[in-house]
Structure 1
Amino acid sequence: MSVLDISIIIPVYNSRKTIAECIDSVVCELCATDYSWELVLVDDGSTDDSLKELYRFKEASLHSEQIRIISQTNKGAASARNAGIKVSSGTFIAFNDSDDKWLPGKIKKQMDYLLNHPQADLAGGAHEEVHGSYFKNLKRVNPIGIKDMVLKNYFSPQAVVIRKKALDDTGLLFDESMRSGFEECSLFYPLTYYRNCILMNEVVTKSITGKRRWGDSGLSGNIRAMEKGELYNIKNAYRSGFISFGRYLTAYILSLLKFSRRLLICEKRKFFGC
């Protein structure tokens, strides 16, 4: 198998209405560069016509030979991303979610940085619906370590590029047992401990539907699941020796405070119907 510059992995689950725009945004960005690439689409047991839509897109694409489709039973986003990582042949790996889109310049800026800074293994940016327009009080480029990550989740899968060798050397993958929220931190926490990771302080991805990550339409169930996942990751970081007890205690309390605030916001949305 020939080595490509970059592999892009997109987990897909019941995303028939958004997947075409999602893929279009990725392919347009890739075609604006000179990088060799492949697109790995992993259908995670969709029950709508998502899988058919993937094949329709591939058949109609001018880049069909660079598009690979994998179908598996429903195991969650972590499993789908891992399946894509395992078959990828790129020197670098990027992701997108099936209801998100890349913004202009996303991949070129991140790839250029990693190619010019071989000591860095991850370059991330902001995802609009999670981080807002940018990270306040941060410089244009910022090193992010595990001590930073346990206090604030700076990385979203769709907004990062990772050097694949960093995953191969550490054996790190997403925790497939986490299907309810914050499974991405099961990879990002140890990666920021073992390797050099940087944050580019600009928005590089956004939601196609405008859906917020938590509490949309006044639903609180996903907030509780995400909080459970975040606390699990924080505990695991401490048990693994990545952070001190003091940092663990600070991160744990801060997480609970953020959870309480999100619940209040969720109830407000539910009450006012916004």
Structure 2
Amino acid sequence: MPLVSVVIPVFNGEKTIQETIESVLNQTITDFELLVINDGSQDRTLEIVECISDSRIQIFSYPNAGQSTSRNRGIELAKGDYISFIDADDLWTPDKLEAQLNALQANPKAGVAYSWTDWIDESSQLLGKGSYNTEQGEVFAKLLLNDFVANGSNVLIRRDALTEVGGFDPSVTPAEDWDLWLRLAIRYEFVAVQSPQILYRISPNSASFNVWKMEASSLQVINKAFAVAPQSLQYLKPQCLGNRYKYLTFKAIEGYPERSKGIAAIRFLCNAIKNDPSLLRAKVIWKVLFRIAAITLLTPKLAQAVINKFKTLSNTKTLLGYMKLNTAQG
């Protein structure tokens, strides 16, 4: 039986699937199985995977059902004591599995190991530093305030822990990752590998991010989490909502201007301020309002021209720096 099961859900991933699989096959540990869950791909994905010769690869094809269902199918098929997931366009450094496995074996109370993330572009060139967090031990409260795991290609999970809490919940897509991490964190400790080992691909299609769906699913996840959170942590809910709405505001106004997203950003910002009134005193608020005004009042082409001309004034990335991450009460 393999020690580790790696699950790759893939739908129409012909451009990146080979590189992703190679990054798994190049791991410094070799005792793993690689389960490719083909989610009804209509391109050359299946042909490409079938041409990769390695006895550790197993291919399973199903009608299209979405990423959460594909991951859950992989969990059901997995034989390893530890399970990890990687999306079909992301990459791992060669030491990812070994480092996380060592971390879990050195920390018997931990059910989940995660590493740091860097961002890459379509050509797999490094774009910059991603999520570098060091939270470990009992992290449930911290995870309520911020999904520091950052992506679904990150974790290595003990099979027993995953079996206890259940798999991914398709009803809360696209916030299903955060939901699972929270369900694990309320029962198990986390351990951090302080090294960038996940290369998360940023594609131009990120502009199509559905902020309305993310809002709805995020609220579901937050309500689920606080329904089981101890009374001693209930005071964190406004902070949690404020942080999520700051994130949603940022996502609504980044990328190519869309008036509908600009209008959504107004509501998101109001909710962020409602849950964190101190945001009104932040300098970034004027940059956010400037960008929202450009997106909602001008045509997309003109809005983009204005944003490009006044780059400093329209740079809203620092909004994410105003997330309240301190779990101390008062």
Q: Please indicate, yes or no, whether the TM-score normalized by the shorter chain is above 0.5.
A: yes
**Percent of aligned pairs sharing the same letter:** 25
Mapping 1:238-253, distance limit 5 Å: 238-241=226-229, 244-253=233-242
From the superposition, tell whether residues 48 and 134 of structure 1 become closer, same or farther in structure 2 (CA, over 3 Å). closer
From the superposition, tell whether residues 106 and 242 of structure 1 become closer, same or farther in structure 2 (CA, over 3 Å). farther
Structure 1 residue runs of 4+, over 6 Å off? Answer: none
- Mapped partners of 1:221, 1:108: distance in 2: 33
User: For the Cα contact (< 8 Å) 2:10–2:41, is it kept in 1?
Assistant: yes
The one-character-per-residue Cα deviations of 1:117-176 (angstroms, maximum 9, x if unpaired) are 22211100122239x62656x55x7335221112111222211111101122x2421002
Residue number among 202, 208, 214 corresponding to 2:195 in the alignment: 202
Q: Does residue 167 in structure 1 map to residue 173 in structure 2?
A: no
What residue number does 2:249 align with? 260
Structure 1: which amino acid aligns with 2:202? K
Unaligned runs of 5+ in 1: none
- Displacement of 1:100: 0.6
The one-character-per-residue Cα deviations of 1:159-205 (angstroms, maximum 9, x if unpaired) are 1111101122x2421002234x1211221111011111122233211
- Mapped partners of 1:14, 1:135: distance in 2: 27
- Mapped partners of 2:153, 2:73: distance in 1: 16
Structure 2: which amino acid aligns with 1:16? E
From the superposition, tell whether residues 26 and 242 of structure 1 become closer, same or farther in structure 2 (CA, over 3 Å). farther
- Displacement of 1:21: 0.3
Structure 2: which amino acid aligns with 1:9? V
Aligned residues: 255
The one-character-per-residue Cα deviations of 1:87-132 (angstroms, maximum 9, x if unpaired) are 11101111111001101311111111112222211100122239x6
Unaligned runs of 5+ in 2: 121-127, 258-290, 309-330
TM-score, normalised to structure 2's length? Answer: 0.70
Residue number among 18, 21, 25 corresponding to 1:20 in the alignment: 18
Residue number among 215, 223, 230 corresponding to 2:218 in the alignment: 230
Q: Does residue 157 in structure 1 map to residue 152 in structure 2?
A: yes
The one-character-per-residue Cα deviations of 1:234-261 (angstroms, maximum 9, x if unpaired) are 1110123357332122101221122112
User: For the Cα contact (< 8 Å) 2:103–2:191, is it kept in 1?
Assistant: no
From the superposition, tell whether residues 258 and 7 of structure 1 become closer, same or farther in structure 2 (CA, over 3 Å). same
User: For the Cα contact (< 8 Å) 1:5–1:37, is it kept in 2?
Assistant: yes
Aligned partner of residue 107 in structure 1, secondary structure: helix
- Displacement of 1:219: 2.4
What residue number does 2:202 align with? 211
- Mapped partners of 2:67, 2:85: distance in 1: 11
What residue number does 1:88 align with? 78
Higher RCO structure (Cα 8 Å, ≥6 apart): 1
What residue number does 1:125 align with? 115
Specify the structure having the higher radius of gyration (Cα).
2
Task: Give me the CA root mean square deviation.
Answer: 2.6
From the superposition, tell whether residues 72 and 118 of structure 1 become closer, same or farther in structure 2 (CA, over 3 Å). same
- Mapped partners of 2:155, 2:12: distance in 1: 23
User: For the Cα contact (< 8 Å) 2:14–2:45, is it kept in 1?
Assistant: yes
